[in-house]
């Protein structure tokens, strides 16, 4: 069990991550659903990263101005389109493997202003 500097519980082995505002498990947190979506410049950036992942590549999708449930749904659609696993963490969709070109095409087809970022 970890505690942050302000004394609140941030992680529990029973429930996982805890919301710092309402001190509920993130899955049961209602305050994060009421937050407005993050301000972005309107461009969805798709990049590939390998740092901290044991040499495995992962494709990151950043810059989506969606709330948490909509972001989770889009993440599921993107993972299905690639036939791969992944997760949604802190407003970033992570898809396992190098699927940047596929994800850009899928996002543009859905009407997002997506572009490839990085190398």
Name the CA dihedral angle for 30, 24, 12, 67, rounded to a multiple of 10 degrees: 10
Share of the chain above pLDDT 70, in %: 81
Pairing of strands 2-3, 9-12: antiparallel
- Same domain, residue pair 99 and 51: yes
Looking up tokens 């850009």 gives 104
Q: Specify whether 108 is located in the same domain as 52.
A: yes
Q: How confident is the model at residue 43 (pLDDT cuts 50, 70, 90)?
A: confident
Supply the pLDDT for residue 9.
Answer: 64
Chain centroid to CA 43: how far? 16
Same domain assignment for residues 54 and 106: yes
Q: How many domains does the chain have?
A: 2
48 shares its domain with 74: yes
pTM of the predicted structure, to 2 decimals: 0.66
CATH code, domain carrying 51: 3.30.780.10
Note whether 49 and 30 are same-domain residues.
no
Chain mean pLDDT for the chain: 80
In this structure, the answer to whether residues 62 and 107 fall within a common structural domain is yes
- Residue 58 shares a structural domain with residue 106: yes
Whether 31 and 48 map to the same domain: the answer is no
Could you tell me the residue range of the domain that residue 49 belongs to?
A: 44-116
pLDDT of residue 105: 92
C-alpha distance from residue 42 to each of 35, 66, 82 (Å):
18, 11, 24
Better-predicted residue by pLDDT, 2 or 10: 10
| Residues with Cβ within 8 Å of residue 99, at least 6 apart in sequence | 59, 82, 84
24 and 73 housed in the same domain: no
Token pair, residue 36, equals 């407005």
pLDDT at 88 over 80: yes
Q: Are 67 and 37 in contact (CB under 8 A)?
A: yes
């Amino acid at each position: 069990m970890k505690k942050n500097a302000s004394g609140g519980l941030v992680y529990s082995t029973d429930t996982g991550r805890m919301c710092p505002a309402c001190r509920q498990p993130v899955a049961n947190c209602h305050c994060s659903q009421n937050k407005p979506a993050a301000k972005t410049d309107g461009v969805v950036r798709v990049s590939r990263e390998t740092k901290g992942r044991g040499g495995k590549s992962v494709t990151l999708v950043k810059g989506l101005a969606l709330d948490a449930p909509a972001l989770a749904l889009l993440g599921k659609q993107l993972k299905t389109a690639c036939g791969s696993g992944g997760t949604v963490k802190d407003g970033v969709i992570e898809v396992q493997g190098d699927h940047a070109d596929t994800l850009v095409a899928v996002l543009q087809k859905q009407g997002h202003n997506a572009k490839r970022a990085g190398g």
